[in-house]
């Protein structure tokens, strides 16, 4: 609801969530699946304490958990006033340090909006959803240049540092102070005026220590920008809980609070001596309207028009000789989930046994990939979903002195070696697929295996399939006959809005046919 309010001598347009009318003493139903493992049970005990869950039975004898609903409504309506200056103030681009014509429309809008707020004496806090390759790093650097460098902080995964440094050097900006989310608490108490959150979806869970540390830093900053290239967060609807770190108090804290507050056909039911609100599905339009003051999703047309051609190719080889034994469960005693994992692993040349130790398997896929690289004659990125898969490829391609990107890597050094042409081969763990701008170096990505997480797959394509790529992009999938390799790729491509758990559940159904 857009209204006009007066603050001092100035008039503003403001968004304010309408008053929520709450019946005293009512609850909402917390739906929870049965928890089997000790860690799941411990997590549910924590949730029971945080939400003050109350166990009841309804008239049909069904067992339910109820959560008091006043405390969550207070979180929903607190902090939802986002004042927007009535008049846009044109930035002084000489202070910002970049020619506005060199920025995309959305980047100019971002910097102009931030400048307008700051010039009006207001804090500027906003989450921006800008697709992969649309220039989030440049927008962040331009916004930070309104402040003294020592009062600016960028929080990002460590393997994103190289991109921030290289983009700062490219555009002539000071190199920013960079820190990981896990180290955010070390910056509490520092005089930070500008905070940039790269891949802000890492902050979806407000109960984690890193989320709490970031939220604490955010409250003291004049400017906070949170960027993400993935709008959908592997749930049934768009999930904007990460906005709590950008604008603390502005959005519901938990998924259940989202469902309750923005459900379709929400109804009040009598549950014994209690009354509880129940809803089964999200109202996505209501969620979008609610978060409108806090998040901006950019028009993608400008970026899409700059994307290169892309081709997808499949190269199929025979399955490993031990495949049928592994598929039947002969390599594990831990049941179907472990059997599925081994079926997916063995085509990459190994399995993790029941002690989680790697055991090598002879897979025709490995020498076929080696032949492909030998005959390609240009830079290539090889992707596998497992650390042991990275090690196997490293051994096979040792003559190329490949760059290795995985958990223990020197990310900046390894990425720089590949970008400067010291090696033509990069071997990458699919879980480390963000932040590297490689479109000027490489056009070919070879997947030995994909992550079951659709976000990882999209991010991996975005390393070369992005604006600035001058050549057609070539994506190659190596698969084994009669395995689940190709089916996994199809599911990841089709179900981009789902989680890895959903993809692997569908794969397990295929395995058990």
Predicted local confidence at residue 2, as pLDDT: 40
What is the distance between the alpha carbons of residues 454 and 458, in angstroms, rounded to a whole number? Answer: 6
How many other CB atoms sit within 10 Å of the CB of residue 290?
22
pLDDT at position 504 over 50: yes
pLDDT digits (tens, 9 = 90+) for 266-284: 777 777 667 776 777 777 7
164 is written with which tokens?
């921030």
Torsion of Cα atoms, 343 then 349 then 353 then 359, to 10°? 160
330 is written with which tokens?
């002969």
Q: How far is CA 120 from CA 124, 161, 219, 225, in A?
A: 10, 32, 18, 18
DSSP 339-363: HHHHHHHHTTTEEE-TTS-EEE---
More confident residue, 8 or 99: 99
364 is written with which tokens?
């025709």
Predicted local confidence at residue 36, as pLDDT: 63
Under 8 Å between Cβ of 210 and 181? yes
Predicted local confidence at residue 277, as pLDDT: 67
Predicted local confidence at residue 472, as pLDDT: 93
Place of tokens 């076929």: 368
Predicted local confidence at residue 500, as pLDDT: 76
Average pLDDT over residues 141-153: 94
C-alpha count within 13 angstroms, C-beta hemisphere, residue 110? 35
C-alpha 167 chain-centroid distance = 21
What percent of the chain clears pLDDT 90, i.e. is strictly above it? 43
Which ranges in 52-104 belong to alpha helices (H)?
Answer: 70-77, 93-96
Q: For residue 511, report the phi and psi dihedrals to the nearest 5 degrees.
A: -65, -35
pLDDT digits (tens, 9 = 90+) for 17-36: 444 444 556 666 766 555 56
If phi > 0 it is left, if psi is from -120 to 50 it is alpha, else beta; for residue 25 that is left
Place of tokens 């051994």: 395
For the question of whether the overall pTM of this predicted structure is more than 0.75, the answer is no
Predicted local confidence at residue 270, as pLDDT: 73
pLDDT digits (tens, 9 = 90+) for 219-245: 889 999 999 886 544 444 567 888 888
Torsion of Cα atoms, 479 then 484 then 490 then 494, to 10°? -150
Which residues neighbour 53 within 8 Å (Cβ) at sequence distance 6 or greater? Answer: 30, 47, 65, 66, 67
- Mean pLDDT over the full length of the chain: 83
Place of tokens 């681009």: 93
If phi > 0 it is left, if psi is from -120 to 50 it is alpha, else beta; for residue 415 that is alpha
Q: How far is CA 378 from CA 186, 280, 375, 382, in A?
A: 43, 52, 9, 13
pLDDT digits (tens, 9 = 90+) for 493-503: 887 666 777 78
Which ranges in 67-224 belong to alpha helices (H)?
Answer: 70-77, 93-96, 105-119, 136-144, 161-171, 209-219
Under 8 Å between Cβ of 380 and 425? yes
What is the distance between the alpha carbons of residues 481 and 319, in angstroms, rounded to a whole number? Answer: 6
Predicted local confidence at residue 24, as pLDDT: 54
Average pLDDT over residues 76-100: 76
For the chain, list the domains and their CATH numbers: 93-252+284-303 (3.40.50.10810), 310-511 (3.40.50.300)
Predicted local confidence at residue 5, as pLDDT: 45
Place of tokens 């004898």: 61
Which range, of 110-114, 138-142, 192-196, 410-414, averages the lowest pLDDT? 410-414
pLDDT at position 94 over 80: yes
pLDDT digits (tens, 9 = 90+) for 418-450: 999 999 999 999 888 777 889 889 999 999 999
Predicted local confidence at residue 108, as pLDDT: 94
pLDDT at position 257 over 80: no
What is the distance between the alpha carbons of residues 498 and 293, in angstroms, rounded to a whole number? Answer: 26
pLDDT band at 468 (very low <50, low <70, confident <90, very high): confident
Place of tokens 């060199």: 102
pLDDT at position 114 over 70: yes
Predicted local confidence at residue 133, as pLDDT: 80
pLDDT band at 350 (very low <50, low <70, confident <90, very high): very high
């Amino acid at each position: 609801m857009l209204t006009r309010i007066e603050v001092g001598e100035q008039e503003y347009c403001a968004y304010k969530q309408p008053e929520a009318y709450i019946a005293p003493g009512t609850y909402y139903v917390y739906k929870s699946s049965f928890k089997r493992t000790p860690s799941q049970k411990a997590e549910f005990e924590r949730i029971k304490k945080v939400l003050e869950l109350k166990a009841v039975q309804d008239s049909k004898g069904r067992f339910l958990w109820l959560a008091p609903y006043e405390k969550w409504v207070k979180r929903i309506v607190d902090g939802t006033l986002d004042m927007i200056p009535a008049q846009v103030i044109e930035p002084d681009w000489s202070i910002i340090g970049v020619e506005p014509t060199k920025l995309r429309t959305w980047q100019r809008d971002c910097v102009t909006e931030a400048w307008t707020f700051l010039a009006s004496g207001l804090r500027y806090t906003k989450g921006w959803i800008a697709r992969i390759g649309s220039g989030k790093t440049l927008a962040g650097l331009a916004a930070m240049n309104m402040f003294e460098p020592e009062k600016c902080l960028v929080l990002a995964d460590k393997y994103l540092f190289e991109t921030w440094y290289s983009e700062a050097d490219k555009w002539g900006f000071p190199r920013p102070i960079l820190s990981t989310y896990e180290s955010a608490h070390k910056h509490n108490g520092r005089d930070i005026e500008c905070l940039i959150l790269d891949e802000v979806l890492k902050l979806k869970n407000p109960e984690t220590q890193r989320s709490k540390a970031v939220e604490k830093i955010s409250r003291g900053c004049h400017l906070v920008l949170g960027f993400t290239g993935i709008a959908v967060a592997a749930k049934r609807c768009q999930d904007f809980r990460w906005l709590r770190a950008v604008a603390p108090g502005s959005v519901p804290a938990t998924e259940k609070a989202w469902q309750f507050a923005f459900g379709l056909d929400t109804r009040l039911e009598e549950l014994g001596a209690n009354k509880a609100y129940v809803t089964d599905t999200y109202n996505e339009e209501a969620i979008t309207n609610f978060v409108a003051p806090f998040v901006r999703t950019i028009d993608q047309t400008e970026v899409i028009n700059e994307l290169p051609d892309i081709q997808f190719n499949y190269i199929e080889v025979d399955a490993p000789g031990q495949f049928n034994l592994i598929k039947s469960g002969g390599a594990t005693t831990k049941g179907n989930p472990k059997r599925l994992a081994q079926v997916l692993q063995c085509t990459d040349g190994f399995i993790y046994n029941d002690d989680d130790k790697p055991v090598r398997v002879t897979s025709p896929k490995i020498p076929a990939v080696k032949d492909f690289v030998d005959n390609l004659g240009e830079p290539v990125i090889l992707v596998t979903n497992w650390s042991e898969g990275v090690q196997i490829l490293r051994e096979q391609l040792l003559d190329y002195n490949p760059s290795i990107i995985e958990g223990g890597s020197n990310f900046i050094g390894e990425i720089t070696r590949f970008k400067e042409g010291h090696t033509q081969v990069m071997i990458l763990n699919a879980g480390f697929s963000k932040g590297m701008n490689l479109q000027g170096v490489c056009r070919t990505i070879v997947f030995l295996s994909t992550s079951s997480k659709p976000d990882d797959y999209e991010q991996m394509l975005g390393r070369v399939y992005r604006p600035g790529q001058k050549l057609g992009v070539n994506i190659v999938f190596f698969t084994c006959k009669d395995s689940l390799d190709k089916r996994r790729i199809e599911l990841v491509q089709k179900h981009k809005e789902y989680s890895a758990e959903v993809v692997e559940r569908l794969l397990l159904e295929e395995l058990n046919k």
